[in-house]
Chains A and B, each alone.
Chain A
Amino acid sequence: MSTQTTPKFNIDTVEHAAETPNVELPWAELGLKRGEFEEIVKLLGRRPTAAELAMYSVMWSEHCSYKSSKVHLRQFGEKLTDEMKKDMMVGIGENAGVTNLGDGWAVTFKVESHNHPSFVEPYQGAATGIGGIVRDIISMGARPVAVMDPLRFGAIDHPDTPRLVHGIVSGIGGYGNSLGLPNIGGEVVFDSVYQANPLVNALAVGVLRHEDLRLANASGVGNRVVLFGARTGGDGIGGASVLASESFDNTKPSKRPAVQVGDPFAEKVLIECCLELFKHSLVEGIQDLGAAGISCATSELASNGDGGMRVELTNVLLRDPTLTPGEILMSESQERMMAVVTPENVAAFEKVMEKWNVEFSWLGEVTDSGRLIITWDGETIVDVDPRTVAHEGPVYNRPFNRPEWLDGVQKDAFRASAAGKDLPSSGEELKAAVLELMASPNMCDKSWVTKQYDSYVGGNTTLASPDDAGVIRVDEETGLGVAISTDANGRYAYLDPYTGAQLALAESYRNVATSGAVPMAVTDCLNFGSPEDPEVMWQFAEAVRGLADACQTLGIPVTGGNVSLYNQTGTTAIHPTPVVGVLGKFDDVARRTPSGWQQNADGQAIYLLGTTRDELDGSEFANLRGHLGGLPPKLDLEAEKTLGAILINASRDGMVDSAHDVSEGGLAAALSEMVLRFGVGARVALGDLCDRDGVDAFTALFSESQARAVVAVPRSEEVRFNDMAAARQFPVVRLGVVDVLATSLEVQGLFELPINELREAHEGTLPKYFG
């Protein structure tokens, strides 16, 4: 290595640090608290070097260390049962969880947030959110096969919303479409609580053969450490610490330079090149570079492996030769990976890089010293125990308490409020209410968004938005495949975070079962306000406890996910928004059930499964009237399990041709969406339902009672279908029939809603606001 060509800084070496204990260091600017800085000094027995400080500051950030959430997240592990572990090949802690699909196949999936960057720089923030989650999937040895995006924006008519919607949607499309990954679903929600704190969550799923599974560890003393992919630049410095781990504050300078810039072509090439490395077993361990860049990759690989690593930092290929060592360690430049390669495989590794024209540089080697040593031109600038950086950071038992305002909110039930007076009851009023609901920002057609995403690439997509779950074929020979859904309801979680988180899981579980798949695993993206606010911390603690309990009851494990805190501006936090993704399995995706009546379904019987109660608190209808209070709908996980089993059996045995879950917007939304899906009409009557459940037509249409689904049953299967529901003692009521010739949704005795009128209302909203 030549010393002449290396730029010389005033290098703060370990030796120099030991000699100059009193140098002032900018720990506060880097996002560290005083106590944390003092802990670093204690760990090292001296002040940290500038490079060490940079490493600790990013790795001990909330975003990377989970320091506020760790004590709660433990429950996901503690509440695991043997049943839940049965198919779990890799759980929380790795880049993404892995679930066994059988036949030698496995699937890996995870959802992550890219909220703060997407507010500051919508296009690049959202784009690199996709890039980051996709690299997590590759790191497991998997081929990414699909992505999904749960999105939450501020009020649809706020002047800043178009900037975010256009930027974020085109960023997701611009990056994801260039990777050849179908975007198969997600959510789009508008609520003023997300003003200035949009939620941009990104989920990716990948598939692998069991033997291709890779983990992020650096084992085998003498193995070489290589950095490959894009060059390291000045983008994204401090992204994890100063951007993702603090609340926004209008009085401070723009954080725009802390957002990374993406190059999807480089990522696409990286995917193919990694898959070729896995195919030929050329890497021992692999880690993507996301938050905290090289700091994270080196310390995590070393900490998970034999415990030591030596790295020469001047070997890193740079886009900007003026970067300081600290900046190089912190940079979050995208499309980079780090791998551990045995000396014998070095030549073969380089050949793959050359084939794909990917730049690489050998940085160092694995040692058993127990130390991560980073040198700059031979001089030691980092000498740390990698575990103290990666895994033994601070853990906070932050104080939390139930908000004082919550009692008042919970007592403010919709029916008793001013907003709950003069509810629609006549046929004309109900028809107008259905149209208003289906045109509302949250219930309207989202194809303005989803049409900007390629849902077909790969040729394995068989259900995608607006179906309840996205369904992807994994094995073309057998039809083996997976279904995925993501759900969250911030309003429910605001009313009761414990139940709200469980309801998100229940809905996601139900969506997967509705498509016909057997739910197997959970990923979550927990979006909350500042953990330094004890009331927010209480919401978080309750949500995690609720989710862990519900996972146990449903028998499916959380295999990975992400926590996003500090989603607040000033003292105003977002609604607690635990986004829950559930993954299910199909033995043969040919059995999947679409969410609307089909053209060949004429005369099929329409049934509603489940019980309808007077549950309008927190509902979309209450939202239309500007009301949020009371308690969320009752959760009944046993009913969800039974309903799921019925839907899965019915799909497998050909007893239903279409099925749609009943959730936000209630039966009114479910029926409307089933009609709109393929433009096929239906005639239904609510009398039997109202008599049985003791509700009026308005409640039957707009209540958001859980554990319900609407299905279409071929005439020849009606007896068998009813017998199955009866055998499981699950309530079922016949609502009417599919009518291919009808051009409307007719609710007998109340109203007839022409499909064209419904479609116009449903599809007009997003174009009206966003062009």
Chain B
Amino acid sequence: MSETPLIGDLGGTPGAPLSGARIGVITFPGTLDDRDAARAVKLAGATPIPLWHADSDLGDVDAVVLPGGFSYGDYLRAGAIARFAPLMAKIVDAANSDAKLPVLGICNGFQILTEAHLLPGSMIKNDHLKFICRDQTLRVENNQTAWTNQFDEGQEITVVLKNQDGQYVADEKTLDELEGEGRVAFRYVGWNPNGSRRGIAGITNAAGNVVGLMPHPEHAVEPGFGPLGADGHYSTDGLGFFASVLSRLVEAK
């Protein structure tokens, strides 16, 4: 993805064509990657809007990112409590509305989206039972979603993977449906790092506006500060997610 254009520069330059796009980044008390997500939004040229879990409205954002972390500690089951946050009800409504608010759930965000039933399935502890942090190659299986349209179908991208409970599971019927409807958005390449069913790293809802994945695109946006790609150079493949949603927002306007 080295050809991904850097749409804007750090700071969401006022006057840049897309700096008007407002992308909400939700922070729960135990969220960890919110600043990273906000940085990725800025680097893509849009304006990050901080959202607080206890807020009661979405503040007119054009899209929402649920970043990684441990929401409320996740001692029960990752995301199980976060789905009841006041803001989550608004996000569920907006995602299911006619406007189809684009929503990206990363890691803990993905776990929360499954708990909130915006996406099917669930995550359990990695099959090797350990936390794992590594540079991970993914294959883009669906490039029609709000968050993947700037990738090529079948393109291999490198982002960071880091989780303890990243093993995606669902019943066979659900998995068959996801495959049949082309709703597997990303699959692990090379090695399945957590035992996910059918190597699934990320999925989308039927409308393509809600995408969840375990790996972290927001950590692959700046050369020198992220994973090494397969070619031995720093990957900025994560920018493609944010460029995709901006492209979708421009189309919609």
The answer to whether residues A598 and B232 also contact, given A356-B29, A459-B225 and a CB cut-off of 8 A, is: yes
B residues within 8 A CB of A598?
232
Count A-B contacts at CB 8 Å: 92
Which of A177, A263, A679 lies in contact with B131, CB distance below 8 A? Answer: A177
**Nearest residue, chain B, Cβ from A180:** B32
Contacting residues, chain A, for B233 (C-beta < 8 A): 599-600
B64-120 residues with Cβ-Cβ distance < 8 A to A are: 69-70, 72-75
- Give the residues in chain B near A450, CB-CB below 8 Å: 133
Q: Is B36 an interface residue (CB 8 A)?
A: yes
A444 to chain B, nearest CB (A): 18
Determine if B131 and A180 form an interchain contact, defined as CB atoms under 8 angstroms apart. no
Q: Is there contact, CB below 8 Å, between A177 and B232?
A: no
Q: How far is the CB of A228 from chain B (nearest CB, A)?
A: 15
**Are B30 and A265 interface neighbours, CB within 8 A?**
yes
Across the interface, name the chain B residue whose C-beta is closest to A461: B225
Q: Do B30 and A268 have beta carbons less than 8 Å apart? A: yes
Determine the chain A residues whose CB is within 8 A of the CB of B36 once the complex forms: 457-459
Tell me the complex Cα distance, A93–B1, Å: 51
Which of B29, B39, B130 has a CB less than 8 Å from the CB of A459?
B39
**B window 20-46: CB within 8 A of A:** 29-30, 32-33, 35-36, 39
Task: Check: B183 CB closer than 8 A to any chain A CB.
Answer: no
Question: When the two chains form the complex, which single residue of A173, A453, A457, A599 contacts B232, counting CB atoms closer than 8 Å?
Answer: A599
B30 touches A451 (CB 8 A): no
Is A451 within 8 A of B134, CB to CB? yes
Q: Quick one: which of B199-229 are within 8 Å of A by CB? A: 216, 218-219, 221-222, 224-228
Q: Is B162 an interface residue (CB 8 A)?
A: yes
B72–A452 touching, CB < 8 Å: no
Cβ contact within 8 Å between A473 and B29:
no
Given contacts A457-B32, A457-B36, A679-B232, contact A265 B73 (CB under 8 A): yes
> Complex: how many Å from CA A473 to CA B10?
15
Asked whether A456 lies within 8 Å of B75 as measured between CB atoms, the reply is no
Partner of B70, one of A170, A265, A272, A589: A265
Collect the chain B residues with CB atoms within 8 Å of residue A451's CB.
132-134
User: Would you call B160 an interface residue if the criterion is a C-beta within 8 Å of the partner chain's C-beta atoms?
Assistant: yes
Given contacts A476-B10, A599-B232, contact A454 B72 (CB under 8 A): no
Q: Would A457 and B33 count as touching, CB distance under 8 A?
A: yes
The B-contacting residues of A in range 607-651, CB under 8 angstroms, are none
Interface string of A287-302 (1 = CB under 8 A from B): 0000000000000000
Beyond A265-B29, A599-B231, is A462–B225 a contact (Cβ under 8 Å)?
yes
Task: Tell me, in angstroms, the Cα distance from A622 to B69 when the chains sit together.
Answer: 45
- A452 and B131: CB pair below 8 A? yes
CB pair A678 B219 closer than 8 Å: no
Q: Does any Cβ of B come within 8 Å of A432's Cβ?
A: no
Contact yes or no, A456 B29, CB < 8 A:
no
Complex contact B30–A456 (CB within 8 A): no
CA distance A193 to B228 in the complex (A): 38
Question: CB within 8 A of B33: which of A170, A179, A180, A266?
Answer: A180
Query: Closest residue of chain B to A770, judged by CB?
Result: B130
- Closest Cβ of chain A to B78, distance in Å, is 12
Q: Which residues of B contact A174 (CB under 8 A)?
A: 131, 164
Contact across chains for B133 and A454 when beta carbons are under 8 A apart: yes
Partner of A265, one of B72, B224, B226, B231: B72
Within 8 A of B (CB), among A426-472: 450-462
Task: Write 19 A-B pairs (CB below 8 A) sorted by A numbering.
Answer: A170-B131, A173-B130, A177-B131, A180-B69, A263-B73, A265-B72, A265-B74, A265-B75, A268-B29, A453-B133, A455-B133, A456-B219, A457-B32, A458-B35, A458-B36, A459-B225, A459-B226, A590-B224, A678-B228
Q: List 6 tightest A-B contacts by C-beta distance, closest first.
A: A265-B73, A180-B32, A599-B232, A459-B36, A456-B219, A173-B131
Q: Contacts A265-B30, A452-B131, A456-B219 given; 19 further ones with Cβ under 8 A?
A: A265-B70, A268-B30, A450-B133, A454-B133, A456-B162, A456-B227, A457-B36, A458-B35, A459-B36, A459-B219, A462-B224, A473-B225, A476-B10, A589-B224, A590-B224, A598-B232, A600-B233, A678-B232, A679-B232
